[in-house]
Amino acid sequence: MKIICVGRNYIDHINELSNQKPTEPVLFIKPDSSVLINGSPFVIPEFSNDVHHEVEVLVKICKVGKYIQPKFADKYYNQIGLGIDFTARDIQSKLKEKGLPWEISKGFDGSAVIGNFVDKTHFQDLQNVSFELKKNNEIVQKGNTKDMLWQINELIAYVSQFFTLKTGDIIFTGTPSGVSKVNPNDELEGFLEGEKMFSIKVM
């Protein structure tokens, strides 16, 4: 199983980090060892002093595919979910400055929170699904899939040009604005259309 993440897919988040709007989706991979074991707390790694939460809508692939056309992309997934792409922002900023790959800032152990999934038939329009992240009971990130620069079907088509998609692979579709540092004892809760999809304690 692999995790493919999309960077810079919401304009308000691009602006908050003063990034350039990309002309093509920005992709990176998290290894399977990055998945936070269900129910475990997230332990802030000692190599970073600035780990950020990035709440993201997840797409679970249900069929093997390569060079998938956007118009057929919906056949390759039947569930969407919610998760967190934990990012060691201090490490990432240094790597970005040097033009180096972001992997260690994004793919470290526990950096991929994968919450519950819901059948996509549950939603009238997958490109109009709201989601939010609460930190210690306060909303810190709020997004809607209608604001994606690249929609889910376009992402699947784009990703599958480079990486064969396999059953069980998960796409992290990018984060809206509101990313911030997590601290020990923080409680993070993610909601998709008001339904709780995960709850994580930070240590």
Residues near Zn ion (CB under 5 A): 54, 85, 175
> With respect to Zn ion, which residue has the nearer C-beta, 4 or 68?
4
For residues 13 and 175, the answer to whether their CB atoms sit within 8 Å is yes
What's the closest the beta carbon of residue 136 comes to Zn ion, in angstroms?
A: 21
> With respect to Zn ion, which residue has the nearer C-beta, 141 or 160?
141
| CB proximity list for 31: less than 8 A, separation 6 or greater | 2, 3, 107
What's the closest the beta carbon of residue 51 comes to Zn ion, in angstroms?
A: 13
What's the closest the beta carbon of residue 55 comes to Zn ion, in angstroms?
A: 9
What's the closest the beta carbon of residue 87 comes to Zn ion, in angstroms?
A: 6
> Which residue number places its CB atom closest to Zn ion?
85
CA neighbor of 59 nearest in space, from 133, 141, 115, 14: 115
Cα separation of 54 and 171, whole Å?
14
Find the distance separating the first CA and the last CA of the chain, reported in whole Å.
27
What's the closest the beta carbon of residue 103 comes to Zn ion, in angstroms?
A: 13
> With respect to Zn ion, which residue has the nearer C-beta, 85 or 169?
85
> With respect to Zn ion, which residue has the nearer C-beta, 121 or 182?
182
Q: Decide the pairing of beta strands 112-119 and 130-135.
A: unpaired
> With respect to Zn ion, which residue has the nearer C-beta, 54 or 189?
54
* Token output for 52: 């950020």
Cα separation of 155 and 57, whole Å?
12
CA 202 centroid distance within chain? 18
